């Protein structure tokens, strides 16, 4: 599924393994870096909050794409795994009193473990059965979080308040700097997530994930340990997702079960479909697109307030309908997503005036 760009000819394995090969790629990397560094100084707080949401979505989407796009194990349990990360890191940091980064780290490890547990059916089941099994895990986790037996999670409140992020005397400031300081934390983590995901797929482990996706029997025949590859994929992916979940908790400073429903799982699936299955960059594009889309729809509805008041009145429904329609449209017309469209655009200009 990973689209290879045409016209780039490698002469050695080292050059093929390199993350970037052409001057244009280095140029784009520089542009991207400048953009990420300048962004917090030009955006107002409102847009910065959207940028922060995008950063968290990027981490979650990259994680999901490792599982679904690269390993071919469909998961509808994203929301549930995020809930595990969010609740565990909130409880570890606030109630038990661990330093927040340590709490987040432990939450990530815990989510990875939970992911492996729910990945166990994946050893026996494929495709549709796995989809149904992860649907069940989503429903079960959602129920456990919502019901909260013995009031262990929320102490009877129904939600959890999370203290302001604090580490080694540094504390996130008040309203005027809140978004900006979070931007730095989230941006660095998102960049780390993207880079490490890209690197995973240059190693033998990452290649074994792809082998499992493309043809599991053949993969086993060439010596890939299927059990290990599948469970590692579940662990790595859930770790990313758990990180996204715990960052959601600390960033929004409140944890409640409504943030981790089946709709969230579908939203993340939509991100990686729109962006491109089996592509780290695609997950990033998808996360940006699907986070900006509701904003766009809201603005459109406001602009058409006078002519089409219906849009504004039914905003959540209109948004969900658009999400659904976009999932369908991308799967039918461009199953490899925005990443493929971008790839094709680059190819077009590289060969211009020739077609290929």
Q: Which stretches of the chain bind other proteins, using CB under 8 A?
A: 68, 72, 74, 76, 121, 124-129, 131-133, 135-137, 139-140, 143, 147, 216-217, 220, 226, 263, 266, 269-270, 273, 277, 310, 314, 316-321, 323-328, 331-332, 335
Give, in degrees to the nearest 5, the angle at Cα 170 between 168 and 175.
155
Toward other proteins, which CB reaches closer, 181 or 322? Answer: 322
* Residue 256 dihedral angles phi and psi, to the nearest 5°: -145, 160
Nearer to other proteins, 105 or 271 (CB): 271
- Give the shortest CB-103-to-other proteins separation in angstroms: 28
How far apart (Å, rounded) are the C-alpha atoms in residues 328 and 306?
30
**Cα separation of 174 and 165, whole Å?**
11
Shortest gap between Cβ of 333 and other proteins (angstroms)? 8
Q: Which is nearer to other proteins, 36 or 326 (CB)?
A: 326
Q: State which residue, 92 or 318, has the beta carbon closest to other proteins.
A: 318
152 vs 351 by CB, closer to other proteins: 152
Q: Which helix (H) or strand (E) holds 255?
A: strand 254-256
Q: How far is the CB of 281 from other proteins (least distance, A)?
A: 20
- Minimum Å gap between C-beta 324 and other proteins is 3
| Shortest distance in whole angstroms from residue 154 CB to other proteins | 15
Do residues 274 and 290 make contact, with C-beta atoms less than 8 angstroms apart?
Answer: yes
| Count of helices and strands (H, E) across the chain | 15, 4
- CA neighbours closer than 13 Å in the CB half-sphere of residue 211: 20
Which residue shows structure tokens 């579940």? Answer: 234
Please state the closest distance from residue 255 (CB atom) to other proteins, in A: 20
| Minimum CB distance to other proteins smaller for 242 or for 337 | 337
Cα–Cα distance list, 10 to 18, 26, 314, 329 (Å): 10, 17, 53, 35
């Amino acid at each position: 599924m990973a689209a290879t760009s045409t016209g780039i000819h490698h002469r050695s394995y080292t050059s093929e393994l390199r993350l970037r090969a052409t001057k244009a790629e280095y140029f784009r990397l520089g542009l991207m870096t400048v953009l990420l560094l300048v962004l917090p100084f030009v955006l107002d707080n409102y847009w910065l909050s959207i940028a922060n949401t995008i950063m968290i979505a990027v981490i979650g989407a990259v994680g999901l794409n490792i599982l679904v796009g690269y390993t071919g194990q469909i998961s509808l349990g994203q929301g549930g795994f995020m809930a595990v990360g969010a609740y565990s890191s909130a409880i570890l940091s606030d109630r038990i009193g661990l330093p927040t980064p340590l709490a987040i780290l432990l939450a990530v490890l815990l989510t990875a473990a939970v992911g492996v547990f729910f990945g166990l059916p994946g050893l026996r089941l494929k495709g549709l059965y796995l989809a149904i099994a992860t649907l069940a895990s989503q429903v079960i986790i959602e129920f456990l979080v919502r019901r909260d037996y013995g009031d262990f999670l929320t102490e009877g409140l129904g939600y959890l308040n999370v203290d302001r992020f604090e580490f080694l005397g540094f504390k996130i400031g008040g309203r005027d700097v809140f978004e900006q300081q979070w931007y730095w934390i989230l941006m660095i983590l998102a960049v780390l997530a993207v880079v490490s995901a890209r690197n995973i797929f240059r190693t033998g482990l990452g290649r074994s994930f792809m082998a499992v996706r493309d043809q599991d029997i053949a993969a086993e025949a060439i010596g890939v340990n299927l059990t290990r590859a599948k469970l590692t994929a579940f662990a790595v992916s859930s770790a990313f997702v758990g990180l996204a979940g715990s960052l959601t908790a600390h960033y929004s400073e409140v944890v409640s079960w409504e943030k981790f429903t089946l709709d969230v799982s579908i939203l993340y699936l939509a991100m990686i479909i729109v962006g491109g299955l089996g592509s780290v960059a695609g997950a990033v594009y998808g996360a940006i697109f699907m986070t900006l889309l509701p904003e766009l729809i809201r603005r459109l509805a406001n602009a058409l307030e006078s002519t089409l008041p219906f849009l504004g009145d039914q905003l959540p429904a209109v948004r969900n309908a658009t999400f659904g329609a976009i999932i369908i449209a991308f799967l039918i017309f461009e199953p490899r997503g925005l990443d493929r469209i971008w790839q094709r655009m680059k190819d077009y200009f590289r060969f211009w005036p020739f077609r290929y």
